[in-house]
Structure 1
């Protein structure tokens, strides 16, 4: 006959997911500086712990060599910004004319090399861009175009041109009108230069700022059609608003300013490139060779994204420009998990309820308790009651699992007897009892009644002894 469980103790459902309390934000935001997880909808993204930034804003200027800006009296603000923060001394554009450089910055490859692709429909690529990687990781992005007449505008108008808007050349963006209109938007509501209020206002809250932000100034503010002084003056008014915004004051944010191309040839077409913001080293210059391919490489390294193409994969990232937050200290392993249990009664009969009680120490709470009774039956719970229906010797085992994944097992033997005796008795011992009725002596061990004079013979058999008397028990 199979033994059966009579009573089961309280089962434990173990589910351990430990997140910092600041990890959950509205869908537009990345986690705070010290959290490592972001929730977007129902998707959970784990970001690298020691990442250099949580927000990045990219501004691309036009058509100036490194030497035209570096030390120039026409660009005092850019030079002061580079002096206060970080300057890349050997950062090169990737191609000519303008458009392929924008594709290097956003796609990790110089698509449309040698071609400005006018009109826009003449050149498109179905390859992924960096914002596809950003979005697939559950992060957010938005591209701001100064003086663009309407969202996702694909023609030229006034000081706006599609040739400095790389996002409309990706079919995964431009081919989805809803996605494009929601992400590629005017930087300014007035459409005539500063203030770039749509961008600046977005930086006022984690609920409106995107993790990846891009700004293309109009053709005058970016120095393409106007002087270096005009573009530097534009930056001197805009950049302080950026650096003093809520995002750049309270979050781990970085500002990247570069030029699309100079007048040299890759890989020696050096352009003035500055990193600024709270996440960036101050008063730092790097002489390591970098290029436009290094920007997507840096973002990929920062946020754990897959490379877009061979060129960004093979380019060094620019993490040297950042004062990386210290890595969290190594966590010590949890204490060794130890399990134990007791049961009562100590010498149970078949058919009698046995009460098991488990305990654990060490490890990481909470604990899950799983029992094996040695006869094929199992149970769960810290306490449990069980009935053995068959006589025999069994090994009862308790396995405890903790929240860190440790498991340990404790086992004990348990004897189920049909005729158990108290400790110290011996088999087939006799105890002679003189009954109150004269003439009858009963021996329970041998099961017979011995008649005395004038008595009646009685024979009985008992299943249990009543005990022994020291000196009387004989084997």
Structure 2
């Protein structure tokens, strides 16, 4: 976030395909993937093996990626510009054997790998401070420099926090180089792919350096082709293929902007400091342009610098501490913050207390105790006596009682004063026999509810006394593409392969699925900002009318969730929703609840609504019939230490939809041949949306609520309207009416020329008919005893 706040952030930048290779190809050639995989590809392909739907390298089985197409290097060299590429883990040159060679898209180009001169521009590096790269940047770098970290540093195989640490070392070296301090240079940072589908597969993308705007954000839509188009526009290069030729260059991110106003504040710890005891001051600054320069005046004649600093006061009195921040704007902005700090000669009295969750305790279930201690001198030492012969230490501890009775819990806090202070707190807790639930006993699929559906092995999903107990533990494991879970299931599911409902498992006319639960414990991972968990009910649907296509994928199943969502310690906003592509179905989720540790909640999934919302989110017709095939309840996520949830009552609500009825009307009421008739269908009951189909009795058909039709022959016809709804199972209603079509009355008229005839001059008569039935027969009487026909 530091780079995004300080420089230019593209908030609408999307990858173009899955998995990673096609995105790297798009960046250098405007192509994306293998010709044999036309369905998921966007904008062209390369010939030869290598599957755009699997991670495979340049020398993948079945052939290697290869292309004689024009690429970015061709364009750069054609105008006399220079280039270099740095691939982490490579041995340099056109080495295609290193672990992430499938990300090295320049190595897919025949006119590069076949040229020793061009191969000499490809270099290796192995650290976050690559000497060869930094030497180039500090000694007159190439016009274009390409940098690919390996999977240990690009957040593919490692955590976000470790990747961020890597970037926080490498990027400051780049931005501080001679190239970036003396020329109009720009640094693009982006990722190959995200978790969603093009064109909404948004990835983090920033532009930094002297050519980029400061503290600038844009939601305009761009993708990897846009980055290629930007390079082409910057150097006046011809575009390569239709993808980059039609892409919008990202020119809005270049130039100058006025950074937002600079502001600052700071915190003091401890809040009430003591004489001759260290005090920590920590600043929080925003606005302006980072990095910031921080200076302090402690009010006692001492000063210091840094965003976090420790100071010791030597006398007991009140001091005014002033912090001043200067940003990196040009000209620089400054902001100050002041606060009075009262330094005591002796520490305030120590006091302590504690809370526990859940507040209703049951045998053999985990309870978490948290001490709240103030006064005295930190740090504190906390010890516990749980009243059942067990003890513990630490500010936060967990304990399990095995007997249903009352216990006196005593907590003791000791501080670091000299002499040491001690404070105690005690409460009586009542432990009850465990609640019962209605999940029954563990059952095999498809009947369910199943047990043991938990990964990794440290996790579990069991049913005890009818209570579903999901215990998920995956410390430091998983990421945005690898989720772990602890769930129970009932029915059929869309993996290996997409499956239709199993008769007799899901109740007929099921309208909603709900379950109430309690979050017993949650322990974050070593880097809480990398944690993610969902507490959810998932509904899996079969599409009986066959597979449908959207976002470059074709599936016959839907995967939808209602859930509690927590990412990096922050709950997802209620009502927020997103699509996801698990590779076997069209996924969609919605956050419907926020539930913290110790709290209980109820999740409810509306069967019909979840289907329609999922379809709509993927741009599919919302009247596509859905059949509920499977139900899953539990937790999923990654990185955190432990998430324990008890689920008590599951309800499968069935509501018979009102009977579907249909009706039809038409105008005009008297029908003639050749006349356009407007028909109107009506429907009620059942489940919307409705689908209308018509048969007009003369062999013609139509769809839609308000069709039009014209009859070519007179007669009596039966018009039939068939209406189907979105219920599962689907309802059908039929309405019909008889219409009589008649021939319009026959009418005749004629004209003659010339309009003023003379004796013995030829007169031309022209007759016309209307109505009746063609063809017409004409006969004439001229009034002078002569007749004619025609």
Q: How does the TM-score come out when normalised to structure 2?
A: 0.29
Give 1 or 2: higher helix fraction.
1
If you compute each CA radius of gyration, which structure gives the higher value, 1 or 2? 1
Q: How does the TM-score come out when normalised to structure 1?
A: 0.49
Q: Which has the higher contact order (CA 8 A, sep 6+)?
A: 1
Give 1 or 2: higher strand fraction.
2
